[in-house]
């Protein structure tokens, strides 16, 4: 016990000595700390975009909901279903029912151009023609401003995210769609899902405006239970009158988020690595300066019997503490500045805009702090080894 205990006491003594000298090196220490803080803040804020998109897609899906599209279609833009087919789909087994009948919602999906509020450039905004069951199939739908549109009239309701990001969607304003004017009468929320990026209108009014006849892109269905999915899918797959693809909402929206998530994650990681290299050099410079200014003190401790190991550990501890402080500051800045910040990006699956909020989640904050500690470890390792290996006699002659 004496050996290890003595080793730990030496570490504590040298570390305490190093930390007490920090005020004498506050300039270089602050530079290293805030350099690491900047790296963590950028990394966390960029990756929070990907986390926000994934959360938005997850909020769009309900466990018992499925989406039916034409066979071979991966998105609604690629799908087309005639009205007769949607009626057959609504007769499938396992579909939940309410006072309106089978909870199956045939929907028409088109894209219109509207200017972005932030840049004024045009964006592809989703416009969805719905029937009454659309509001019961989706969880969390509610009107938060204005009123519901009147069936059969050129009126629309807009998602809260769409109204925030795109111009011309204030209550009472009109938008030009399909050579007709459509009045905005309400704003809705839908559990924070992708529907809040859309504009909704009566499908029976939208169809003639786009000369779609009695056709739709998809049918959203609520089942009695998620366990009914296989029976429902198999029944539609074996019906000779249909040629459709049945997907759970969870799988459908997860697939839509993959491309954007990977793109942002790769770019964010690349930026963090490049900036992290700069921070490592900053930490190296700081710790080399710190050990150089204490060469004689470290040599004196070595001459008094302090081992090389405690010197290495104490220098690494100082570097890690600076990195931890910088990581905490950077994570806090990212959380304060970006958590809940609303923005829009391109949905690569439908080539239309989707709105989302940055999600600076606790796991992401931990990831940022761990990265900061890694920078501190690399930045302090070489100066620590150099300080411990320097010959005592040579070091004692340093001025």
Q: What predicted TM-score, i.e. pTM, was given to this entire model?
A: 0.81
- Token pair recorded at residue 57: 């897609």
Question: Residue 63: inside a domain, yes or no?
Answer: no
Please return the burial class of 132, using the count of CB atoms within 10 Å of its CB with bins 0-12, 13-18 and 19+: exposed
Extract the runs of DSSP E, i.e. beta strands, from 325-372: 342-347, 352-357
N-terminal to C-terminal alpha carbon distance within the chain = 38
User: What averages of pLDDT result for each successive group of 10 residues across the chain (399 residues)?
Assistant: 57 61 65 84 90 90 92 90 94 93 94 87 91 91 95 95 93 86 94 93 92 92 94 94 94 86 84 81 68 59 61 74 88 93 83 89 93 84 67 52
Cα separation, 8 vs 5, in Å, equals 5
Q: What is the reported pLDDT for 118?
A: 80
Same domain, 79 and 213: yes
Please return the burial class of 34, using the count of CB atoms within 10 Å of its CB with bins 0-12, 13-18 and 19+: middle
Question: Residue 349: inside a domain, yes or no?
Answer: yes
Cα separation, 169 vs 341, in Å, equals 20
Question: Residue 129: inside a domain, yes or no?
Answer: yes
Question: Residue 251: inside a domain, yes or no?
Answer: no
Same domain, 13 and 38: yes
Q: What is the reported pLDDT for 399?
A: 45
Q: What is the reported pLDDT for 8?
A: 62
Same domain, 365 and 263: yes
Neighbour count for residue 353 (Cβ, 10 Å): 23
Q: What is the reported pLDDT for 353?
A: 85
Same domain, 96 and 237: yes
Element containing residue 207 per DSSP (H, E): helix 203-209
What domain count does the chain have?
2
Q: What is the reported pLDDT for 293?
A: 56
Element containing residue 183 per DSSP (H, E): strand 180-190
**Where a domain ends, among 211, 242, 273?**
242
Same domain, 193 and 284: no
Q: What is the reported pLDDT for 297?
A: 60
Q: What is the reported pLDDT for 395?
A: 47
Question: Residue 64: inside a domain, yes or no?
Answer: no
Question: Residue 67: inside a domain, yes or no?
Answer: no
Same domain, 269 and 215: no
**Where a domain ends, among 242, 266, 298?**
242
**Where a domain ends, among 242, 272, 300?**
242
pLDDT, one tens digit per residue, over 134-144 is 999 988 899 99
Question: Residue 250: inside a domain, yes or no?
Answer: no
Same domain, 234 and 260: no
Q: What is the reported pLDDT for 209?
A: 87
Element containing residue 222 per DSSP (H, E): strand 218-222
pLDDT, one tens digit per residue, over 290-327 is 565 555 566 666 665 666 666 667 777 777 888 888 89
Same domain, 197 and 332: no
Q: What is the reported pLDDT for 376?
A: 83
Question: Residue 248: inside a domain, yes or no?
Answer: no
Same domain, 54 and 79: no
Same domain, 126 and 8: no
Question: Domain range holding 167?
Answer: 72-242
Cα separation, 166 vs 326, in Å, equals 37
Same domain, 100 and 53: no
Same domain, 208 and 102: yes
């Amino acid at each position: 016990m004496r050996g290890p205990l003595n080793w730990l006491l030496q570490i504590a003594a040298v570390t305490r000595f190093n930390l007490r000298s920090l005020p004498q090196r506050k300039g270089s220490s602050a530079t290293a700390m805030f350099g690491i803080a900047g790296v963590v803040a950028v990394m966390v804020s960029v990756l929070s975009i990907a986390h926000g998109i994934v959360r938005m897609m997850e909020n769009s899906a309900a466990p018992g909901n499925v989406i039916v599209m034409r066979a071979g279609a991966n998105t609604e833009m690629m799908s087309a279903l005639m009205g007769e087919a949607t009626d057959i789909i609504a007769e499938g087994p396992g579909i939940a029912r309410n006072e309106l009948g089978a909870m199956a919602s045939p929907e028409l999906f088109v894209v219109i151009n509207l200017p972005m509020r932030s840049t004024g450039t045009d964006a592809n905004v989703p416009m969805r023609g719905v029937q009454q069951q659309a509001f019961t199939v989706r969880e969390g739908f509610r009107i938060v401003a204005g009123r519901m549109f009147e069936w059969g009239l050129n009126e629309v309701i807009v998602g809260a995210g769409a109204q925030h990001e795109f111009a011309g969607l204030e209550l009472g304003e009109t938008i030009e769609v399909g050579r007709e004017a459509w009045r905005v009468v309400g704003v809705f929320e839908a559990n924070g899902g992708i529907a809040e990026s859309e504009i909704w209108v009566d499908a029976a009014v939208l169809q003639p405006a786009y000369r779609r006849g009695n056709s739709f892109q998809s049918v959203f269905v609520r089942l009695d239970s998620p366990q009914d999915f296989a029976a429902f899918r198999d029944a539609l797959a074996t019906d000779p009158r249909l040629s459709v693809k049945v997907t759970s909402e969870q799988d459908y929206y997860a697939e839509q988020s993959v491309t954007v998530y990977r793109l942002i994650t790769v770019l964010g990681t690349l930026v963090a690595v490049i900036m992290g290299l700069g921070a490592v050099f900053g930490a190296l410079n700081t710790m080399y300066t710190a050990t150089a200014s204490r060469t004689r003190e470290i040599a004196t401790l070595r001459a008094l019997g302090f081992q090389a190991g405690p010197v290495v550990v104490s220098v690494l501890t100082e570097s890690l503490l600076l990195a931890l402080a910088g990581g905490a500051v950077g994570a806090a800045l990212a959380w304060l500045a970006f958590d809940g910040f609303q923005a829009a990006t391109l949905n690569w699956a439908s080539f239309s805009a989707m709105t989302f909020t940055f999600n600076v989640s606790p796991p992401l904050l931990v990831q940022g702090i761990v990265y900061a500690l890694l920078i501190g470890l690399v930045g302090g390792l070489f100066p620590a080894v150099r300080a411990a290996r320097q010959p005592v006699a040579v070091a004692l002659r340093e001025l």
